[in-house]
Structure 1
Amino acid sequence: MTSKLLMRTLALLAMLLAPPLQAQVVPLPALKTTQLSVSGLSSGGYMAVQFDVAFSASVIGAGIVAGGPYFCARANVGTATSVCSCTGFGLCQVSPGGTGVADLIAKTGQNAASGAIDSTGNLASHRIWLFSGTADSLVPQAVMNDLESYYKNYVSPAQISFKKNLQAQHAMPTDLFGNSCTTLSSPYINNCGYDAAGQLLQWIYGPLAQKTGNTPAGSFLQFDQSEFLPSPASHGMAPSGYLYIPPGCAGDASSCKLHVAFHGCKQDAATIGESYVRNAGYNGWADANRIVILYPQAASVPPLTNPNACWDWWAYDDANYAVKTGRQMQAVRRMTERLMGAGGGNPPPPPSPASECFSASNSEHVQAGRAYDKFFFAYAVGSHQRLGLDFRFFHTTLKRTAPNYYVVGACS
């Protein structure tokens, strides 16, 4: 067995043997972290750019894998899928300079002047890390080149790092886990022998201690996202998200940094389970450098609005998607405020009564936020158990066992 094959086999075994994330959904803790940064892949890359630009007074840097410039889609799904990416059913129109960077810079200025986003002057101190694979067929390098041009209007070239010479497909590049580097397939994490998460964190924060491995030594929490966005499933966000707390950062984490990692389309937990949270490459660096990692979760909005659980970067849910008052933007901001000790969200809800049951049609469960729809099937919030077809004449009993966590079955 070759050394490369052995490493892949060991990584797969580690994934299979890893204990599951905390099943009970809990309130997001207040940790008093500092030095907020963001990163993301694909729609998560677009979301990271939006967050970095809109909340530039609070963020110190961003890492973008296969994303594009701020407001690239111009609130239009056709533009999003043909000009800003090649993800639509029509003709791909991606071309050098095709996103219209000058117009996007003008829009950014208008938003800043109106107070819809923070002053663009804050971006001057940010450190920006960019990655684009030469084999990326969904967000070709021309789009990422435009993102570099966009950021250069605000950030010194010396503070921008752009890796674009690796033959990689549209995926999160890692040095241990995933498909082959040129594969386009779920979970969209590829073993390229390249540690993108480590590279971006080192660029944003400066010299870091080398990660000691890829087996997390800290703890995972599954937290209630509805505290930060009511009825999240109706707005493209999952009922719960994930938080990774490395050793030494529980409780008072004033000596710990905070990084938000936005997954890409089709990488939500309901679709690929724990793969992104465990294997995107962040946790080993978090352990070695006391970095708390927030993994907020998007969700599908069927049938055609947002079937792939993408983040809102083209106004599928909210006309204000790219400014501070956008529903998803505000929700994640409140999460970071909570984690940085500044409150955020509403007060933690009281524990749900044990064994509280709800008998209703599957569609009524979805409407009430106890379940969510995915490709016409209803799934229980929290446990992700399938109820059956999301129709009014199919009935199921759901038992709430924790805040925002439901399982299929009758109460005893």
Structure 2
Amino acid sequence: MNPIPSSRFCRAAFLAACLLALARSGLADPFPALPALNVDIAETSVSGISSGAFMSVQFQVAHSSIVKGAGVVAGGPYYCAQDDAIRATTQCTCTLDPLHQVCSVSPTSADVPALEKATRDFAQKNLIDNPDNLARQRVYVFAGGKDELVPAPVIDQLDDYYRRLAVPAANVKTERWAKAGHTMPTMRYGNACPVTDTPYISDCNFDGAKEILTWIYGPLATAKKTKKPKAGGRFIQFDQTPYLPASQRYSWTTGMDQSGWLYLPAACERGEPCRLHVAFHGCKQGQSYALLRPLPDGSVYYGTTFVRHAGYDTWADANRIAVLFPQAVSIPGLNPNGCWDWWGYTDGNYATRKGVQISTVRAMIDRIASGKR
């Protein structure tokens, strides 16, 4: 999931991006808008893997006033990259050149005291919400013992960051799964658990999505097995562009795809009170990501693999949790792997409320929660 690839990959990604743009230009009908649901915005939670994990931490800090909790799968502390791609890929992760192990990760490489200071400085400038809000949040962290891209010292420094920001130890659960690679763990879908490879989802006999949602919201209900089960929810592909800031709505440098996905439980669609969870995919997991080699089903684009197989929808219906899957897109030369911006490829505001991706996702949340009764 390295964010900075080879020049050969850049050329391939550029060609794929051009083909994708041509395909989009021929779409006859636009994607629908997000629905307004009876959602309490204060019950919003976030999670993600890899770049999505870093983004979930960024969002929980930037908009801490509305976030109930976060799930961090293979991610590190807020503002770890400090607007520096080399720092991101050598001191916060080992992703610059995994083959030759160009990596400087150490127990202090993230410089957590500096990250704490940056957090408080951003709050002083009103660029993020008051970090005191973090003290009431619940945080679930998953770390793979065989993950060589986000090694254990990064996870340790994430825990240290939360301690420094006064998140009670009782509110943070760090799961260190010895046999897992750099992956989203599931009960029965994906690679063998130790594998770090496409689709970065693995059969670990461990339900990561369930553990995240349970830690944040409490014990989950399971779907009742009946002879005539009620209709389940549905996946909706929606137009992301209306939620971009007006000045950047048609700019390819936002890193936002044209469409995203929402899992909508039937109860939420009927107007019953619901909660909202935002799930951020990782690098090379966005729907439009062009693969160097096909998935087992022959797909040349990643498509909805993360959306449909990360495991969130399994728990959504019985617990009335709508799940938002925003989608990032590749930018040749800047972000060819379709990662979320946690090092500054959009601009220097990327980790704050002014960041284009963070503000876009917040606009999506506001729209969904606008049906609150």
TM-score by length of 2: 0.82
Q: Does 2:282 match 1:264?
A: yes
Are 1:298 and 1:310, in contact at CA under 8 Å, matched by a contact in 2?
Answer: yes
Give the secondary-structure state (helix, strand or coil) at the position aligned to 1:299. coil
Q: Relative to structure 1, is the Cα distance of residues 212 and 313 closer, same or farther in structure 2, using a 3 angstrom cutoff?
A: farther
Q: Which has the higher strand share?
A: 1
Matched to 2:179, the amino acid is: Q
Are 2:30 and 2:239, in contact at CA under 8 Å, matched by a contact in 1?
Answer: no
Matched to 2:92, the amino acid is: C
Task: Give 1:286's match in structure 2, choosing from 305, 316, 330.
Answer: 316
Supply the distance in 2 between the matched residues of 1:64 and 1:223 (Cα, whole angstroms).
25
Q: Does 2:242 match 1:227?
A: yes
Matched to 2:325, the amino acid is: Y
Q: Which residue of 2 aligns with 1:70?
A: 78
Supply the distance in 2 between the matched residues of 1:300 and 1:174 (Cα, whole angstroms).
26
Are 1:232 and 1:239, in contact at CA under 8 Å, matched by a contact in 2?
Answer: no
| C-alpha deviation, 1:251, in angstroms | 4.9
Are 1:26 and 1:223, in contact at CA under 8 Å, matched by a contact in 2?
Answer: yes
Q: Does 2:158 match 1:147?
A: yes
Task: Give 2:50's match in structure 1, choosing from 29, 33, 42.
Answer: 42
Q: Does 2:194 match 1:182?
A: yes
Supply the distance in 1 between the matched residues of 2:69 and 2:121 (Cα, whole angstroms).
22
Q: Which residue of 2 aligns with 1:237?
A: 256
Supply the distance in 2 between the matched residues of 1:260 and 1:124 (Cα, whole angstroms).
20
Give the secondary-structure state (helix, strand or coil) at the position aligned to 1:136. coil
Give the secondary-structure state (helix, strand or coil) at the position aligned to 2:351. coil
Task: Give 1:195's match in structure 2, choosing from 207, 229, 233.
Answer: 207
Are 2:330 and 2:339, in contact at CA under 8 Å, matched by a contact in 1?
Answer: yes
Runs of 4+, deviation exceeding 3 Å: none
Where does structure 1 lack aligned partners over 5 or more consecutive residues?
Answer: 1-22, 344-412
Supply the distance in 2 between the matched residues of 1:45 and 1:342 (Cα, whole angstroms).
28
| C-alpha deviation, 1:207, in angstroms | 1.5
Give the secondary-structure state (helix, strand or coil) at the position aligned to 1:51. helix
| C-alpha deviation, 1:342, in angstroms | 7.1
Supply the distance in 2 between the matched residues of 1:225 and 1:318 (Cα, whole angstroms).
20
Structure possessing the higher relative contact order (Cα contacts under 8 Å, 6 or more residues apart): 2
Give the secondary-structure state (helix, strand or coil) at the position aligned to 1:267. coil
Supply the distance in 1 between the matched residues of 2:111 and 2:240 (Cα, whole angstroms).
35
Give the secondary-structure state (helix, strand or coil) at the position aligned to 1:269. coil
Q: Does 2:262 match 1:250?
A: no
Deviations along 1:11-46, whole A, 9 cap, x unmatched? xxxxxxxxxxxx961111111312100000000000
Supply the distance in 1 between the matched residues of 2:74 and 2:187 (Cα, whole angstroms).
18
Supply the distance in 1 between the matched residues of 2:62 and 2:251 (Cα, whole angstroms).
21
Q: Relative to structure 1, is the Cα distance of residues 262 and 190 closer, same or farther in structure 2, using a 3 angstrom cutoff?
A: same
Are 2:37 and 2:371, in contact at CA under 8 Å, matched by a contact in 1?
Answer: no
Task: Give 1:173's match in structure 2, choosing from 175, 185, 192.
Answer: 185
| C-alpha deviation, 1:141, in angstroms | 1.3
Are 1:225 and 1:232, in contact at CA under 8 Å, matched by a contact in 2?
Answer: no
Supply the distance in 1 between the matched residues of 2:190 and 2:356 (Cα, whole angstroms).
32
Q: Number of matched residues? A: 317
Supply the distance in 1 between the matched residues of 2:177 and 2:201 (Cα, whole angstroms).
18
Supply the distance in 2 between the matched residues of 1:142 and 1:212 (Cα, whole angstroms).
42
Supply the distance in 2 between the matched residues of 1:159 and 1:336 (Cα, whole angstroms).
24
Are 1:218 and 1:245, in contact at CA under 8 Å, matched by a contact in 2?
Answer: yes
Q: Which residue of 2 aligns with 1:25?
A: 31
Are 2:91 and 2:103, in contact at CA under 8 Å, matched by a contact in 1?
Answer: yes
Q: Which residue of 1 aligns with 2:216?
A: 204
Are 1:233 and 1:239, in contact at CA under 8 Å, matched by a contact in 2?
Answer: no
Supply the distance in 1 between the matched residues of 2:114 and 2:277 (Cα, whole angstroms).
30
| C-alpha deviation, 1:306, in angstroms | 0.2
> Identity rate of aligned residues, in percent?
46
Q: Which has the higher helix share?
A: 2
Q: How does 1:337-376 map to 2 (within 5 A)?
A: 337-341=366-370
Give the secondary-structure state (helix, strand or coil) at the position aligned to 2:123. helix
Supply the distance in 1 between the matched residues of 2:111 and 2:359 (Cα, whole angstroms).
27
Matched to 2:173, the amino acid is: S
Q: Which residue of 1 aligns with 2:130?
A: 119
Deviations along 1:100-150, whole A, 9 cap, x unmatched? 111100110101111110001111100000000000011111101100110
Deviations along 1:352-408, whole A, 9 cap, x unmatched? xxxxxxxxxxxxxxxxxxxxxxxxxxxxxxxxxxxxxxxxxxxxxxxxxxxxxxxxx
Matched to 1:338, the amino acid is: R
Q: Does 2:176 match 1:157?
A: no
Give the secondary-structure state (helix, strand or coil) at the position aligned to 1:340. helix
Supply the distance in 1 between the matched residues of 2:203 and 2:191 (Cα, whole angstroms).
6
Supply the distance in 1 between the matched residues of 2:269 and 2:258 (Cα, whole angstroms).
23
Q: Which residue of 1 aligns with 2:351?
A: 322
Supply the distance in 2 between the matched residues of 1:322 and 1:37 (Cα, whole angstroms).
17
- Say what the alpha-carbon RMSD is for the aligned residues: 1.6
Where does structure 2 lack aligned partners over 5 or more consecutive residues?
Answer: 1-28, 226-230, 290-301
Q: Does 2:63 match 1:55?
A: yes
| C-alpha deviation, 1:98, in angstroms | 1.5
Supply the distance in 1 between the matched residues of 2:319 and 2:54 (Cα, whole angstroms).
26
